[in-house]
Amino acid sequence: MPLYANRQELKNRPESESWVDIDDVEFFTLGNADRLAEGEEPPASRWPDPIDDAEASLHTTHDIPVARRIVPTTPKERIIVVSGEAYVETETARATLKKMQWIDVPAGGAIVRNALNPGPEGHRGQVEIARIAGRWGEAVRTAIFTFGPGRPCDYHYHDGDEYWFVFRGHFTLRYRGQDHEVQPGAILAAGMGEEHGVVDPSETFEGIGFATQLEGRKRDGHLWRAVHGEPVETR
């Protein structure tokens, strides 16, 4: 089971992990600055001093575009609203998405816009978006999960590949009887039949669970050794 610390590790994965259908995962924010970002923006080269140059610091840190154009770079791309509300426009459709809702980006691209209404001072809240790019054949599940103290993730496996895209919290992942420390930005690729879970989380953590096409006996959902039999690993 590959565990990538960040999207760069995912992009640079070895040939032996070519079965991984995800090529890139990006989380970005839509803010209040009245401009359209043409794709992913580079990070600021310099941050003004928040004490000596408070005004410049304020403008720099809040210069988050209200909208962004997304042009697919892989055969499949999906955007998911992590928090807030977004308006998506393509050449054939328009839709408003709330938290946990998603849409596939067509080949012609899409414009994603902050759909939150401005508050009394004229400013909108920020909207968090996830973009998943890859080559999967079928996506059987796209969901936001939340686990934490008193709410563990059972130790299980699947009849297909499952991916976790972690965006909040730290936890200890159990895989094949061994523990692995995970932090925000990590990407987990659990191949068919590979047991995994978080049985004793010490803090709340969140991520996106993404499951692709079923294989083998094609049983959907969580499967347990004691109930469903020995897992069959194919990766």
Residue 233: inside a domain: no
The answer to whether the beta carbons of residues 132 and 144 sit under 8 Å apart is no
What's the pLDDT tens digit per position in 187-201? 999 999 999 999 999
Structural domain that includes position 213: 3-21+137-228
Same domain as 213, residue 178 = yes
Q: How confident is the model at residue 175 (pLDDT cuts 50, 70, 90)?
A: confident
Q: How confident is the model at residue 58 (pLDDT cuts 50, 70, 90)?
A: confident
For the chain, what's the residue count? 235
Same domain as 119, residue 37 = yes
Same domain as 161, residue 124 = no
pLDDT for the residue 197: 96
pLDDT for the residue 176: 78
Residues with Cβ < 8 Å from 9, sequence gap 6 or more? 187
pLDDT for the residue 68: 98
Give how many domains the chain has, as a whole number: 2
- CATH number, domain at 145? 2.60.120.10
- Strands annotated E in the chain: 3-4, 22-30, 33-38, 65-70, 76-83, 85-89, 94-98, 102-104, 110-114, 127-134, 139-147, 153-156, 160-168, 171-175, 178-182, 187-190, 196-198, 205-214
Q: How confident is the model at residue 54 (pLDDT cuts 50, 70, 90)?
A: confident
Q: Give the separation between CA 18 and CA 134, rounded to whole angstroms.
A: 11
Same domain as 127, residue 42 = yes
Closest to 21 in 3D by CA, of 135, 192, 140, 187: 135
pLDDT for the residue 55: 80
What's the mean per-residue pLDDT of the chain? 94
Residue 234: inside a domain: no
End-to-end CA distance of the chain: 8
- Identify the residue whose tokens are 């998405």: 97
What's the pLDDT tens digit per position in 119-173? 888 788 999 999 999 999 999 999 999 999 999 999 999 999 999 999 999 999 9
pLDDT for the residue 43: 79
Average pLDDT, integer, range 47-75: 86
The answer to whether the beta carbons of residues 22 and 7 sit under 8 Å apart is no
Measured in whole angstroms, how far is the alpha carbon of residue 15 from the centre of its chain? 23
